[in-house]
Amino acid sequence: MNGVLNVARLQMNKRDVTFGTPAGIVGVVLILSALIAIALQRAGVDPAQADYVAGARNNLGIVWSLPGFLIYYGVQAVATTFPFAMALGSTRRAYVLGTALANVVTALYISLILTVLLLLELATGHWWFDIYVLDNYALGSGNVWVLMPTVFLGVLFCTSIGGMFAGVWVRYGNRGPTILGLLIGLVLATLILVFVPYASEIFAAITAAKLAWTVLGLSALALFGTWLAMRRTAVR
């Protein structure tokens, strides 16, 4: 267990990346969303209208701004620290589990940031100027209990996928991620071809709980894939 905790601490040692960058990205999205909303209102859009609220809740800037960084974070967490961790005496299993623990901490941290900001957004009447950032359709339309698990699972999924691709790169070189991406694309294309006639029934059967378990399962599968790739890879 100590080995797992040591790896987790090692992964979070770069606090400016782990904690500062996500907060900075969220801050930029807040500022840009505020500027756009104020510009629209100055152009004559009435924020009291229902159409404005519906349109404002389609602002998914906060959703699309983080995945790129999070996947990169998952990649660098595996690709850059693996040789150093091995040199310090970590086992491969402890390394993968410690990295996963660091990803969980990151997911909790970002979930906390966005939860606090949502509460502030609601308490201030959407930042005093009807500026919708966290109160959007993708994150539950202002429901804190939807936002928290959604953000947590989304962050965990992105970092786990990034770690898996990095593990394949460390093990097989440049061709590894390319082949893995092609295989994933082939599987997805096959699933679409097989199940597209039943699309309406499948979408009707989807619930929040099923979606959450699916994302959690895919994250666990990515973690397992990382371990498979890393357990025999050479330290370079």
Tens-level pLDDT at each residue, the chain (236 residues)? 677 888 888 888 888 888 999 999 999 999 999 999 999 888 888 888 878 888 889 888 999 999 999 999 989 888 888 777 777 777 888 888 899 999 999 999 999 999 999 999 999 999 998 899 999 998 988 899 999 999 999 999 999 999 999 888 888 888 888 888 898 889 888 878 887 777 777 777 777 788 888 899 999 999 888 888 877 766 65
User: Can you give the pTM of this predicted structure?
Assistant: 0.90
Residue with tokens 């399962």: 217
Task: Say what the pLDDT of residue 159 is.
Answer: 94
pLDDT of residue 197: 77
CA distance 24 to 17: 10
210 lies in a domain? yes
Any domain includes 155: yes
Burial class (CB in 10 A: 0-12, 13-18, 19+), 6: middle
Q: Residue 116's pLDDT is what? A: 95
Q: Classify residue 124 by its DSSP letter.
A: T
**Rounded distance between C-alpha atoms, residue 162 and residue 226, angstroms:** 9
Does residue 106 belong to any structural domain of this protein? yes
pLDDT at 234: 62
- Please give the residue range of the domain that contains residue 140: 2-172+206-230
Q: Which of 195, 191, 194, 104 is nearest to 151 (CA)?
A: 104
Whether residue 131 is contained in a domain is answered as: yes
| Nearest in space to 112 (alpha carbons), one of 65, 151, 141 | 151
Query: Token pair of 235, please?
Result: 């330290």
Q: How many domains does the chain have?
A: 1
Measured over the CA atoms of residue 7, residue 11, residue 15 and residue 18, the dihedral's sign is negative
> What per-residue confidence (pLDDT) applies to 236?
58
On whether the CB atoms of residues 81 and 11 are closer than 8 A, the answer is: yes
Q: Find the DSSP H helices in the chain.
A: 2-11, 15, 21-42, 50-56, 61-65, 67-79, 82-87, 92-123, 144-172, 175-195, 199-205, 208-230
The answer to whether position 83 is within a domain reads yes
Examine residue 200 and state whether it is found in any structural domain, yes or no.
no
The answer to whether residue 126 sits within a structural domain is yes
- Assigned domain for 222 exists: yes
